[in-house]
Amino acid sequence: DIVMTQSPDSLAVSLGERATINCKSTQSLLYNSNNYHLAWYQQKPGQPPKLLIYWASTRESGVPDRFSGSGSGTDFTLTISSLQAEDVAVYYCQQYYNSPHTFGQGTKLEIK
Amino acid sequence: QVQLVESGGGLVKPGGSLRLSCAASGFSFSDYYMSWIRQAPGKGLEWISYISGKSIYTNYADSVKGRFTISRDNSKTSLYLQMNDLRVDDTAVYYCATAGASDFWGQGTLVIVSS
């Protein structure tokens, strides 16, 4: 199974500042020449997860452009360029390259 | 608009069975692989199963293999999860979602396994 490891486990960032969450997989998630099977989700308390990013860097429709995804191979990053109060949540990465479609353990993002 | 509505959760004793359902609407259900994903209280997300659009392909996490069975009825636009030999550590909110990068999720149904 592919193991997904996120860092850090928790993060406190000031409003308007940049937040960066990392995700590392135990094998490459490259599906074809330039598509990585890696997604990012945001989950707020009492709600299901919300898809933010797929193919490692494609923003889901309606997601603010302060959210961006990057990375390649086995190392990926979710960046929030200017943290807003409504971004407080737990963020998960997930690989859908191989079954089981494993998730990272989650990163809790708070306001400093 | 897209809706996924889970039902069938509840309290069950260890060793018991439950069948979860997920009613889908607002999209071409039969064209989508579908997944079940669960979340134990206060814990992270765990993918547990998927099924292809025509039910040809299924796959399971090791933690549920041999105990859980995923199925679907495209005529009823519904997804199911038959859960047998339930254990205390199966206690979780169970979500149905489109598979892969899951753009659609239900609100979840809570399963509690306790004596």
Q: What is the pLDDT of residues B52-82, one digit of tens each?
A: 999 999 999 999 999 999 999 999 999 999 9
In angstroms, the CA A110 to CA A69 distance is 19
pLDDT for B102 equals 92
CB spacing of B44 vs A101 below 8 angstroms? no
pLDDT classification of A32: cutoffs 50, 70, 90: confident
CB spacing of A60 vs B103 below 8 angstroms? yes
Contacts of B73 (CB under 8 A, 6+ apart): B80
CB-based contact, B36 to chain A, within 8 Å: no
- What is the residue-averaged pLDDT of chain B? 97
Reduce the DSSP state of residue B20 to 3 states and report it.
Answer: strand
* Chain B nearest C-alpha distance from A51 (Å): 5
* Chain A nearest C-alpha distance from B61 (Å): 6
State the distance between the two ends of chain A, measured CA to CA, in whole angstroms. 36
- What is the residue-averaged pLDDT of chain A? 97
